[in-house]
Structures are given as C-alpha cells and as structure tokens.
Chain A
Amino acid sequence: AQSVAQPEDQVNVAEGNPLTVKCTYSVSGNPYLFWYVQYPNRGLQFLLKYITGDNLVKGSYGFEAEFNKSQTSFHLKKPSALVSDSALYFCAVRDENDYKLSFGAGTTVTVRA
C-alpha cells in the first residue's frame, strides 16, 4: 500500500519570504515522488519529480524539493515566494512497480503582498 500525508491544510507566507510545503510518504518499494500545483477551476500542473539520483530536484517556476529517505519526506521549497504562487499544492507518490499515483489531501498556499 502507498500513501501520502500533507500535514498542513494551509501555509501563509509574505512575498519574498521562503516557502515550504511539507510532504511525507509511505510505499513498500522505492518511491517515485511528484509535486503538482492547481489553480482554481483548473487541472493539475506538474512541477517536479524525484525518481533517482540527487536528493535535491529542481522544477518549474523556481520550485525545488528535497528527498529524504530516512525521514520519508519530500518537502517542496521556494527561496522567495511570489503572490502568483498562491494555489493548491499536491504531493503524490507511487511505487516503482506501479503506475497509479496516491495523492495527498493538498495544501493551500497563500502569499500575501
């Protein structure tokens, strides 16, 4: 079985400050990890993924995420948040031997000017 936990329903930051969205996961095998962003009434947009290799992965719009195997975490980060980063963020995981994704419940990010 595989699952994802996003412990924060909401994250609020000021523009220009660092942004972190937390994610922990559980899979039976090696994890493939993903972050998506969703704007109101839109589909999910793929941001970045970890498959193998460097624990720090970089993605779209200046986002990055750090894979931590010992803590089973994959936190999303952005050094300097923008108002336009305000959206709903989803972490997802799948086992390397599966193709079905398990999604977290989502974290709403609000960046204030």
Chain B
Amino acid sequence: SQTIHQWPATLVQPVGSPLSLECTVEGTSNPNLYWYRQAAGRGLQLLFYSVGIGQISSEVPQNLSASRPQDRQFILSSKKLLLSDSGFYLCAWSGEAGTYEQYFGPGTRLTVT
C-alpha cells in the first residue's frame, strides 16, 4: 500500500531564516505531487505541483520554491521566511492507475516568529 510522509511535524522559525520541508511517498511510482498551504484551519491553497522529476509548476507567486530531486520526493523551500508564511503545509500525491483522488500527508505546522 501507499504511504506519504512529511517532516518535520512542527517547526518554529524566526523571520528571515531559511526553510526546508520534505515529503516522500512510498509504494507507488511516478506520482503527481502537490504542496498546499492551509491558513487558519480553513481552505487549501495550492502552491506547487509536479508531474515528474525536475518538473515544477507554481500556482501562486511568493517567496517559496519547490523541488523534486527524486521521483517520490518533494521539497518545499524558502531562503527567507516571512511572518505570512505561517500555516499548515500539506503534501499530497495522486496518479495511481485507476484512481482519481489525491492522498494527503499528515502536514507540517509552521510558525514564523
């Protein structure tokens, strides 16, 4: 079966510091991968998605970036965090043959102080 991991689970970082969040998927190959941000426990905002290694599409211009160095690894980064980057970051995958839904990881709670 497929599983998706995210780490760290929680993170407190000062303004201006760098960021690296990691997401890995097990049990499938060539998945579509997604990064979302959820603010204040409500709606989800799609930040980035990837259909293959090195292929990244950005949905919202901001100081975040994403990379996909391996087939089942998706990384969210920032060189300098802003207060507005605080939120709950969720990674998801899709693309298993015969399915249409996305499956989400447990999330990372980021607080920028």
Within 8 A of A (CB), among B87-111: 88, 90, 92, 94-95, 100-107, 109
Interface residues of A in 26-55 (CB under 8 A from B): 32, 34, 36, 40-46, 49, 51
How many of chain B's residues have a CB under 8 angstroms from any CB in A?
Answer: 25
**CB–CB B42/A106 < 8 A:** yes
**Contact residues on A (Cβ < 8 Å of other chain), bracket:** 20 to 34
Chain B residues within 8 Å of A41, by CB: 88, 107, 109
Q: Is the CB of A105 within 8 A of B103?
A: no
Cβ-defined contact, A49 with B104, below 8 A: no
Kindly state the separation between the CA atoms of A36 and B94 in the bound complex, as whole angstroms.
14
**With known contacts A43-B106, A45-B104, A49-B100, A90–B94 Cβ distance under 8 A:** no
Which single residue of chain A is at the shortest CB-CB distance from B41? A88
The smallest beta-carbon distance between A63 and chain B, in angstroms, is 14
Residue B19 CB within 8 A of the other chain: no
What is A's interface to B at a CB cutoff of 8 Å? 32, 34, 36, 40-46, 49, 51, 88, 90, 94, 99-101, 103-106
